Amino acid sequence: TYSLKNFLKMLYMDSNIPSYLYSIPNQKFLHAEPVQTEFTYPPAKYTCRLNGGDSHISYLSTEYGIYFGGVTIENSPNIMLIFGPVNITPYSDSELHQMNMDYMVPRESRQEFSDFFQRVPQYSLAGFLIKLTFINYCINGEMLDPQKLLPKTHIEGTSSEKWYEIKHNSLQNNSQE
C-alpha cells in the first residue's frame, strides 16, 4: 500500500539521498531514511528556511556546501519532505571536525556522525534540482522546469556550484522575475 514512508524508503534505495518526513507545525521529524541518530538530522536553522514561499519546492546551501531541499505536499500542508544532505565534493577531515563542533555532536557519537556524512551522495546543484522536481511530480503531480529553480547568476555561469553562504531559493521567487 502507498505511504510516504514507503516512498521515502524506495527513493533512498534509488538515490542514497537521506530523506525525512517533517511536521511543519510541530517542527518535528516523523520519519527518516535511512534510520539514523538525531545528530544527523538537518538542523533547525536549515529546516525553518526550507518552509517558506508559495512554491512546493525550496532548497538551500550551507557554508559547508551541503544542499538541502524541501517539497511540500499540496493535500497535506502541514507536512514537508526534506531531502539531503547532498554535496558536490567529499568532506575533508577538517570540515568534518568543524561540523562535529557546529552540530554539537557528543564525543561518543562523532564517529557515527562522520561516517554518515562521508556516505552523503554527491550531486551538483542542477542534478539535485532535477531530483527535487521529479519528487514534486511524484507527490503533487506538478511538472516544473528545474532550470527555473536556479538563481539567474547560476544560469549565466557567474557563480560557482559550491556556495558558501546560506542561499534560499523558491520557484515562486524566480517565476516573478
CB-based contacts of 121-127 (< 8 A; 24+ apart in sequence): 121/15, 121/16, 121/17, 121/86, 122/86, 122/87, 122/88, 122/89, 122/90, 123/17, 123/67, 123/86, 123/87, 123/88, 124/88, 124/161, 125/61, 125/67, 125/88, 125/150, 125/154, 125/161, 126/150
Overall pTM > 0.85: no
The pLDDT tens digits along the chain (177 residues) read 689 999 999 999 999 999 999 999 999 999 999 999 888 999 888 898 897 667 899 999 988 889 999 999 999 989 999 999 999 988 888 888 888 887 889 999 999 999 999 999 999 999 999 999 999 999 999 999 888 887 754 443 334 333 333 333 433 333 333
